[in-house]
Amino acid sequence: MSSNFLVSRVLQSLVVLAGLTFLVFALVRVVPGDPVRLLLGDQATPEQIEQTRKDFGLDESIIVQYGYFLGDIARGDLGTSLRQRQPVTDLIRDALPSTLKLALASIGLSVGIGVPLGILTAVKRGSAIDSVVMSATLFGQALPTFWWGIVLITIFSVSLRWFPTSGSGGWEHLVLPAVTLSTYVLALIVRLTRSAMVEVLTQDYVRTARAKGLSERVVLFGHALRNAAIPIVTIIGLQFGNLIGGAVITETVFAWPGIGLLALNAINSRDYPLLQAIVLLSAVTFLTINLIIDLLYSMLDPRIRHG
């Protein structure tokens, strides 16, 4: 790994981002639905629609609009929400902390429980613990998010009253949405960790390490986990990227005021500037995380060369 690699990756990411801006720009406009008509409602006259379209700069050709859009981005201006009539940056800035909190909590939960469980089941494969955990992961992956969230609310908020049903605030508000959101990822991480560990544990060098009399702890964490880490890290990165784009369903069920709800509203009202900004935000986050993961690959596994 070299600084060359880093520079070329960053450059590539910028190219991807540029391509993405156009794709986003074009795609949000292909989706049927006219933001102006939606905003003005049933009583609007054609003249009003025309005028508003002009006010919003939507009467220009797509290419011209794209030019303005790029120019604005260059000046750090992501535009004004068509629906809220507020700067898009303000709206995102208000919603981002909630989403980050939820994403970090659920990834933390999934990794914190998932990786140890995966290792445990791999080491004790075939045991009763293994069967129980593996069956539980099957439940975890078959649960539709919205349904699971509502079940949790019914049990823990309505019946037991341990946690609030919804909203954001203290840690107690975070518990149910984080559990809901992490259930699927947790199940995925347990299974991936287990299968990666099983694979590594049967490799020669691990057997050799054991044969050399290295302690089981060193074998597990020094050799096996290190080598099993690649697919695990990949999935964590993918999921984290997904979460920043918004956990739409979880945020809706728990009335969690994050990017997901913002995005859903933006889609529903065809709020082009807001939608574009959210997609760009999630793209930048995603590309950054990807870059970090690729760097991690080489650290985890020196055999990976970057050509």
Partner 1 sequence: MTDPIEQGFQRLSTTRRKFVTATGLGLGLSVTAPGAFGALSSSTAGAQESSELLFGVSSDPVSMDPRVYPVTIGFSILRHVYEPLAFRNDAMETVPVLAESWERIDDLTWEFKLRQGVTFHNGEEFNAASVQYTIDSLLSGENSWVNPQFGGYIAVIDEVEAVDDHTVRIHTSTPSNALVANLTLIGMLPPVAAAEAGEDFTNVAVGTGPYRIDEYVANSHIALTTYEGYWGDPPASSQITFRILPEDATRLASLEAGEVHVVNNLPIDALSRFEESDETQVLSMPSNRIMFVGWWNDKEPFTDIRVRQAFNHAIDKETINAALFGGLAQIATAPIHPSIRGYTEMEPYAYDPELARSLLAEAGYGDGLDIAFGYPTGRYLMDRQVGEAIVGMLTEVGINVTPETAEWGTFFNNRADLKYDAWLYGFGANTMDPDFALQWFWRAPAAGGNYDNPEVAELLAQADAVADIDESTALYQQAVEIIWNDAPWGFMYFQPDVFGASERLSGFAPRVDEYFLLFDAEVSE
Partner 2 sequence: MAEQSSPALADSAQASEKPRRRSRFALVFYRPKVLLAVGLLLLIVVVALLAPVIAPADPNQQSLLDRLSPPMTETAKQKALLGTDQLGRDVLSRVIYGSRVSLLVGLFSVVFAGTLGVALGMCAGFFGGFIDTLLMRLVDVLLAFPFVLLALTVVAVLGTSVVNVILVFTITSWVSYARTSRASVLALRDTDYVVVARALGASSMRIVTRHIVPNMINPIIVLASFEMARIITTEASLTFLGVGIPPTTPTWGAMISDGRQYLRDAWWIAAFPGLMLFLLVLSVSFIGDALREVFDPRSVPR
Amino acid at 93: R
166 touching partner 1, by CB under 8 A: yes
Give how far Cα 89 sits from Cα of 21, 51, 97, 220, Å: 16, 25, 13, 46
Quick one: DSSP state of residue 59?
A: T
Nearest-angstrom CA–CA distance, 93 and 84: 14
Binding mask 113-152 for partner 2 (x = CB under 8 A): -------------x-----------xx-xxxxxxx--xx-
Within 238-277, the residues that bind partner 2 by CB under 8 A are 238, 241-242, 245-246, 248-249, 263-264, 267, 275
Within 107-146, the residues that bind partner 1 by CB under 8 A are 146
Interacting partner of 228 out of partner 1, partner 2, none (Cβ under 5 to 8 A depending on kind): none
Task: Answer left, alpha or beta for residue 126, where phi above 0 means left and psi between -120 and 50 means alpha.
Answer: left
Contact 73, 65 (CB under 8 A): no
* Residue whose entry in the numeric block shows the structure tokens 């560990």: 197
292 touching partner 2, by CB under 8 A: no
Determine the interface stretch with partner 1 among 86-94, 201-209, 211-219, 233-241 (rule: CB under 8 A).
86-94
94 touching partner 1, by CB under 8 A: yes
- Of 145 and 298, CB closest to partner 1: 145
For the chain, the straight-line distance linking the first and the last C-alpha, in angstroms and rounded, comes to 9
**Of 153, 178, 181, 201, the one binding partner 1 by CB under 8 A:** 153
* Residue whose entry in the numeric block shows the structure tokens 């009202």: 269
Q: Give the chain's count of helices (H) and strands (E).
A: 14, 0
Nearest-angstrom CA–CA distance, 266 and 31: 12
Q: List, in sequence order, every residue forming a beta bridge with 87; answer none if it has no partner.
A: 80
Nearest-angstrom CA–CA distance, 78 and 88: 6
Contacting residues toward partner 2, per CB under 8 A = 12-13, 15-16, 19-20, 23-24, 27-28, 30-32, 126, 138-139, 141-147, 150-151, 154, 184, 187-188, 191-192, 195-196, 198-199, 202-204, 230-231, 234-235, 238, 241-242, 245-246, 248-249, 263-264, 267, 275, 278-279, 282-283, 286-287, 290, 297, 301, 303-305, 307
Contacting residues toward partner 1, per CB under 8 A = 32-34, 37-45, 48, 51-52, 55-56, 80, 83-86, 91, 94-95, 146, 150, 153-154, 157-158, 161-170, 172-173, 252-255, 257, 261-262, 265, 267-270
